[in-house]
Structure 1
Amino acid sequence: MEPIYLDHAATSPVHPEVIQAMLPYYEEQFGNPSSIHQFGRRARQGVDEARGTIARLLQADPSEFIFTSGGTEADNLAIFGYAYQHRGKGNHIITSQVEHHAVLHACQELEHQGFEVTYVPVDQTGRVSVEDVRQALRDDTILVTLMYGNNEVGTIQPIAEIGALLQDHQAVLHTDAVQAFGAISIELDHLPVDMLSVSAHKINGPKGVGLLYVRDGIVLKPALYGGEQERKKRAGTENVAAIIGFAKAVEIAIANREERQKAYFDYCQTFFDQFQQEGVQFVMNGHQTWRLPHIFNVSFPGVHVEALLVNLDLAGIAASSGSACTAGSIEPSHVLVAMHGSDSELVTSGVRFSFGLGNTKEHVQWAAKETAKIVKRLQDQEAFIR
C-alpha cells in the first residue's frame, strides 16, 4: 500500500485546478498590481476578481477583506491591530485556553505590554461555555478572540451565541476560522463576528496566503508600513498568483463541501468501528456533535504518542499529535491539557487523523486496520512491562 496522508489539518495538497489557475500569473500576468501599465493592470484585475469571488462566496463586501501571508498574520493583525488602535477604550481581552498559538502567543505578548487577558476554560469536550465568557466580560473588555473550530480535536465553538452576547457590549469578536473554513458553512452576512481569519493551505490552496475579514467600520492599526496596498491596512506587494489560487480553492471547497462532509464523517466512523472490532482501548477527544467532520482525535491509554507516530510513519501512515515538536520531543498538547488536566494519561497518548483530498474509503480502511494492529502491539508491550 502506498503511503497515506492523514494530516490534512496540518496542511493540504494543492488542488490541480488551483495550480492551473495560478500558472498564468507566474508566466504571463506577472506584473506588480500597483503599476499603472498594462502588466500591472492585468495583475490588479486578477486580484480584484479574486477578492470579489471570495466576498461573494462568503456573502460579504470585497472591501472588507485584507489579504495576508496566512492565518498567523491574519490572527496577529486582528489582535494587535485592534488592541493597539482601541487601547483608549480599555485594555482587557478574552480568549480561550485552547486557541492556536498564533492567538495565544499574541495575547501573551500583549500581557507583556500591560494588557490584561482572561483565558476562559473549556469542558472535557473542548468547548467554551457562553456563560463563562459572559462572566469574564468587563466594562474595559475591548476584544474577544475565540477560534471557530479547534485544529487539534475539531470541537466547534458557540461563536454565533457569543457574538449575540456582545451585541450590547463595546467588545468586538474575532474568530480564527482557519481550520473550520471550507469544512462547515460560514456566511458572514449571518454570522455575528467582526473579524475572521482564514488560510489558503488548509483548503487545498497554496501556502503563503490568507485573509482577514474586517467588518465595515472596524478600525485597525496596521502592522506593516511601506505601501498603500490592501487599503492601507497591509503594506507590501500582493502575492498575486497565490491570491488567484486562494480564490479558486475557496470556489472548489464550497462547491463540494457537503459531499466531503459526508465522506469524512464516514472515515471517522471507519476508524471508530475498526478500533472497537479489534478490541483496542481508546478514548475519542472532542465534542461528538459540535465537531469538524475531517478531524478524528483519539487517545490510546498505555501508548506514548512519540512511539505511535514513529510506528505509523514506518507503516506509511502520516498522522499527527496535533501538538508542538521541539528539539525532537513532542510537548504535551495544550488543548488536551485544558480538556483533561495535565496529569491525565489521555494527554500523552492523543493522535489526530485528519482527512482530505486524495483520501479514499479503501485507504482509510487499510489505515484503520494498521493503526489498530500497531496500537494493540504497543498496549500489550506496556501491559507486559507493568
Structure 2
Amino acid sequence: MKSHSTNDIKYFDYNATHPPYPEILESCLSEYLESYYNPSGITRFSLQKQGKIEQTRKYLSQITGHKEKQFVFSSTGTEANHLLIQSLRVMYPNLNSVIVSPFEHSSLYAALGTYGFQPILLQTNKTGTINLNHLQTLLKQEPKPVICLYAGNETGVIQPVEEIHALTKQYDQLLISDLMQAFCKIPVPFQLFDGYSFSGHKIGAGMGAAVSYLPKDNKDFKLFGGGNQENEHRAGTENTFAISCLQKVTETQLNLLDEKNKRLIEFQTRIETNLESVGCEIIAKSEKRLPNTTFLILPIQTVDFFLLGLEEKGLIVSTGSSCKSRAREASKSLLYMGYSEEEALRAIRISTGSFTKLEDVNLLIDEMKQLIQKLS
C-alpha cells in the first residue's frame, strides 16, 4: 500500500502518529455510510453494528491469547491509559503507590496522580533500560504492581520484559504496560502482561479508537456510567468506524511485519551511520530498540533553527514525545538516563514506518548533514 499524501512532505515522525492507510479507511468509511446505525439500538441493524465491535474484540483475543471481555475500546491512548489505572484503583482501593518506569508517557503519570497513586520510579542509566536489581529490591521490600512500557516512545529501547515478568510473578504482582509504540511494530509477548493499552492512530488506523486490556474482569469497574456499552466499563456510543479501521489495519500490519522491519532496520543503520559521521550521538545505540526509531543528540546548539531548516525542505522530524514537543522541554527520559539538560535539549527523534522510502531517507541524511555543517 502507498500513503495517500499528495504533498511534498517527507515524514519521519511515525511515533507521533502513523499516516493512515487510505484504502482501508476509505473502505471502512463506505461501510459506515451504508450502515450508520447506533450499535446500542434494538433493531437488527444496530445488532449487526454491535456484532462488528464484538468481532474486533474477538480478533484481539485471538492475536493476544487474552479474554474478550477484558478488552475495552475507548477514544485515545491517553484515555486508554487512564482507564487502565482507574481499573487498578478499583482492584486496590487502599494501595498508595506503585512501581513505575521513568520512561512512561505523560498521560500515564497523570493518570497515577488522578487516581491517587504515588509512582516509585525505577533506576536506569544511559542504556535506557530499567535496573532489574532495583526492581527486585523494591519488590522484596514491599511488593506492589509494576508499570513499565515495553518500548520507549523516544528512545525506542525495548525493555527486558521476560525478566520483569519473572520478578513480578515471583512476588505475585501485576505487570501493566503501555504498548503504544510496540503494537504492530515488533512481536509482542502479550502473555507476559496482565494489562496493557494501545491505539489505532499509532499504526495507521486513524484517530478515534484505542484499546485497554483490563488486568481483571471486574464488574464494579466503570470509567464512567450512563450506559451499558463496553460490558458496562465505559458508557457512550462506540466509534464503530474507528474500531473497524483498527482491526483491518492491525491485520495488514501484522501480515507485513517481518518484511517491513527488515527494510526499517536498513534505514535505521543508514541514518545512524551517516549522522554519527558528523558528530551526532545515537542514544542507547547498543541496546535492543525498535527498528523504526533513532533518538540522537545533535552536535549543535541551534536546534530550533535546525528543525525549521528541515521543515523548509519538507522534512518532518520531532524533538521526542509529541505530548511535550511544543513546549521544548528537556526530555525527562534523557534526564533520568543521566544526560544533562543541555544535552537533552539538543535531542531529536527520527521515526520511520510503512510508507518510508529509501530516497526520502537519503534526502533526510543529506539535508541534516548540510544543516549541521551550516549551523556549526
1:299 and 2:297 aligned: yes
What is the Cα deviation at residue 147 of structure 1? Answer: 0.5
Corresponding residue for 1:322?
320
1:271-326 deviations in Å (ceiling 9; x for gaps): 123224xx411100135341111111111123333222111111211000014677
The question of whether the paired residues in 1 share the 8 Å contact of 2:99 and 2:145 is answered with: yes
The alpha carbon displacement at 1:160 in A equals: 2.3
2:55 equivalent among 49, 52, 73: 49
Report if aligned partners of 1:340, 1:347 keep a CA contact under 8 Å in 2. Answer: no
1:359 paired with 2:361, answer no
- Quickly say closer, same or farther: Cα 1:184–1:327, change in 2 above 3 A: closer
1:74 alignment partner, SS class: helix
The whole-number CA distance in structure 1 between the counterparts of 2:85 and 2:166 is 20
Cα distance per residue 1:241-290 (max 9 Å; x no partner)? 100000011101111011111111111111123224xx411100135341
Q: Deviations over 1:67-89 (max 9, x none)?
A: 1112111111111221243123x
Structure 1, unpaired ranges of 5+: 380-386
Within-5 A mapping of 1:78-89 = 78-88=84-94
- Contact 2:57/2:71, CA 8 A, preserved across alignment: yes
Compute the RMSD of aligned alpha carbons. Answer: 2.2
Choose from 334, 340, 359 the match for 1:336. Answer: 334
In structure 1, the partner of 2:251 is 251
Match of 1:100 among 98, 102, 105: 105
Q: Alpha-carbon deviations, 1:148-204, whole Å to 9, x = none?
A: 10001100112222112111434311100001111110142xx32110101000111
What TM-score results when the alignment is normalised by the length of structure 1?
0.90
CA offsets per residue over residues 205-245 of structure 1, 9 Å max, x none?
12121101124556773221111111111111111010000
2:171 paired with 1:169 = yes
Query: What is the aligned partner in structure 2 of residue 383 from structure 1?
Result: none
User: Contact 1:283–1:300 (CA<8 Å) still a contact in 2?
Assistant: yes
Aligned-residue offset at 1:333: 0.9
2:45 counterpart letter in structure 1: F
Matched, 1:16 2:22: yes
SS in 2 for 1:22: helix
Which deviates more from structure 2 when the two are superposed, residues 305-314 or residues 238-247? 305-314
Instruction: Give TM-score scaled by structure 2 length.
Output: 0.92
| One-letter amino acid of the counterpart of residue 8, structure 1 | Y
Q: Which moved more, 1:253-262 or 1:140-149?
A: 140-149
Answer yes or no: is the 8 Å Cα contact 1:200–1:209 preserved in 2. Answer: yes
The corresponding residue for 1:137 is 139
In structure 2, distance between residues paired with 1:296 and 1:65: 32
Q: How does 1:190-201 map to 2 (within 5 A)?
A: 191-201=191-201
Report if aligned partners of 2:300, 2:372 keep a CA contact under 8 Å in 1.
no
What's 1:285 paired with?
A: 283
Unaligned stretches of 5+ residues in structure 2 = 1-6
Q: Give the total of aligned pairs.
A: 370
Per the alignment, residue 40 of structure 1 pairs with: 46
Q: 1:106 to 1:215 in 2, by over 3 A?
A: closer
- Specify whether residues 347 and 220 from structure 1 end up closer, same or farther in structure 2 by C-alpha distance, changes over 3 A only: farther
Say whether residues 1:74 and 2:80 are aligned partners: yes
Residue 24 of structure 1 aligns with an amino acid whose one-letter code is S
Percent of aligned pairs with the same residue? 28
Matched, 1:228 2:225: no
